[in-house]
A and B are shown apart, each in its own frame.
Chain A
Amino acid sequence: MSDDLKKGRIVIVGASLAGLRAAEALREEGFTGSLTVVGDEPHAPYDRPPLSKQVLLGQATADTTGLPVRRDPDAEWRLGVRATGVDLLAKRVLLEDGESLPYDRLLIATGTRARPWPDAEEAALDGVFTLRTREDAGGLAERLAAGPERVLVIGGGFTGSEIASACRELGLAVSVTERGPAPLVGALGGTLSKLAAVMQRNHGVDLRTGVTVTALNGNGAFTGAQLSDGSRVDADVCVVALGAIRNVEWLAESGLAAGPRGIACDAGCRAFNMYGIVTDDVFVAGDVSRFPHPLFGYQMLSLEHWGNAVEQAGVAAHNMVSPGPLRRPHLSIPSFWSTQFGLNIKSVGVPTYSDHVVIAQGSLEARRLAMVYGYQGRVTAAVTVDMAKSLDYYRHLIETAAAFPPPPGAADRAIAADIPVPSLVPDPSGLSHGPTVALTGHLPDRRLTVV
């Protein structure tokens, strides 16, 4: 049986990081059958994190972030063609050009796209951008290089903050609007979001919190925006950074458990159908997936993390060519990073799955610290600012469900390590930006409220 799994036809829908790494891993696992990768963008798989950093800073051009391959996946690449549906009974993927691809096993890795400005007419103004694709980044970088008077960034999540950071580094005036109380609050909670706000203002960002943008103005070209507090921002470039939308619409008729938070799958990356019955020939990986994690109360997690795409693609590939008892669970601890305003922010675990935090090392004043997050007396996450080398220690505490506050472990333990303060994780629906780690289950003992 296991030999049969190494043969046959595998189709991967999604030709970005997760799709590419899964294709490579399938060959590493000994799959010798036919492999087809479908992607709606007309490019070979490329890396997105540099698009909001190196590319905007002019240190790399948008068309040079192609991902290097670990090995030749020996696949047929169907690029620039969109998948429009799946027939689970006939086991075929339908393409927009009318063709259909038969499969024995299918991997869905269609990821996310940028959430557009809700008013299509205003979004079409010249100078209004989102940032997700190579074309987005190329167009925005060109506009920033031309030296606009002011850039307006709508949304203070990681992408919005990185764009603002790049603008300041380029010497451009920039305004950031955020509906929540501070930037990054959705991902990092109250205390670190205050550090993020201070860093933005110290670097000259015109940060407006507790406001929304009510209208984008311009006659053909963007000239400014109207804010909910009655004020106006005059700017000639606008970047809409309102988070991501999962690419699941093409599965609406498929019968799979696909919704706004992604496609539900089990810990082995197998997709659920809409009745909650697990499939055995449809797998999911990357940003579009939604999977249970035992360390976080078996809640379903939706992650928008580079590292998760790589890890989950590897597990999905292994399980696609392995019989049941040899399959592996996807249990890696969520991790992400962001570089902005000269700071390196790294996270492990799920900071939003917390009730209290302590600063275990360093301090806010030093702009160098390790913050540990706890939930009901257990360590559930840690975030470092310019202290990446400490992160593995905290990862170990999370993996072993260590007691919170954490015991003395570092020579430079801060006094604050013994003073837990509320983590102040707000309800994501009150923010302009997404949390990038979303708990999509239910905790009966807590109701999140906007801080």
Chain B
Amino acid sequence: MRTVVDLTRCQGYAQCVFLAPEVFELHGEEGLLYATAVPDDQVERVRQAAAACPVQAILLGEEVSGGVR
């Protein structure tokens, strides 16, 4: 699974950092860095982080694959 954070929306509430610390990390006071590839054992945590994000900035999903030629 892949994740992407809409950092235009992100306001640094850092709920994701508490819920999935292996994937999300604060860089300084409020800059967010995240692992783009989500390990299988972290998927549920990222799902929770996405649900808990106050500004709904986290998207978890698969890459484009079907129909590639």
A residues adjacent to B (C-beta < 8 A): 20, 44-47, 49-50, 53-54, 57, 59-61, 64-70, 72-79, 305-307, 310, 335-337, 339, 342-344, 346, 368, 386, 388-389, 391-392
Contacts and interface: CB of A to CB of B under 8 A. Distances in A.
B8 A45 contact: no
Contacts of A68: 1-4, 59-63
Contacts of A78: 69
Contacts of A339: 27-28, 31-33
Given A339-B31, A343-B29, 9 more contacts: A45-B64, A54-B33, A54-B36, A78-B69, A343-B28, A344-B29, A368-B29, A386-B30, A388-B30
A377 B15 CA distance: 38
A77 B67 contact: yes
Contacts of B35: 54, 59-60
Interface in B15-52: 27-37
Contacts of A69: 61-64
Interface size range of chain B in the complex: 20 to 34
Contacts of B30: 344, 386, 388
A342 B31 contact: yes
A310 B3 CA distance: 16
A343 B2 contact: no
Contacts of A346: 8
A69 B59 CA distance: 8
The B interface is mostly helix, strand or loop, or mixed, namely loop
Contacts, number: 109
A169 to B, nearest CB: 9
A194 to B, nearest CB: 19
Contacts of A59: 33, 35
Contacts of A60: 35-37
Interface of B: 1-4, 6-8, 10-12, 27-37, 59-69
A59 B35 CA distance: 7
Nearest to B28: A342
A69 B1 CA distance: 10
A388 B12 contact: yes
Contacts of B69: 76-79
A57 B25 CA distance: 13
B30 to A, nearest CB: 5
A388 B64 contact: no
Given A54-B36, A66-B63, A68-B59, A79 B10 contact: no
Contacts of B12: 344, 388-389
Q: Report the 6 A-B pairs with minimum CB-CB distance, sorted nearest first.
A: A68-B61, A339-B31, A342-B28, A66-B63, A307-B8, A64-B37
B8 A72 contact: no
30 contacts: A44-B68, A45-B64, A46-B63, A47-B4, A50-B36, A54-B35, A59-B33, A65-B2, A65-B36, A66-B2, A67-B2, A68-B2, A68-B60, A69-B62, A69-B63, A70-B61, A73-B64, A75-B67, A76-B67, A77-B67, A77-B69, A78-B69, A306-B8, A337-B7, A337-B8, A339-B27, A339-B28, A344-B12, A344-B27, A389-B11
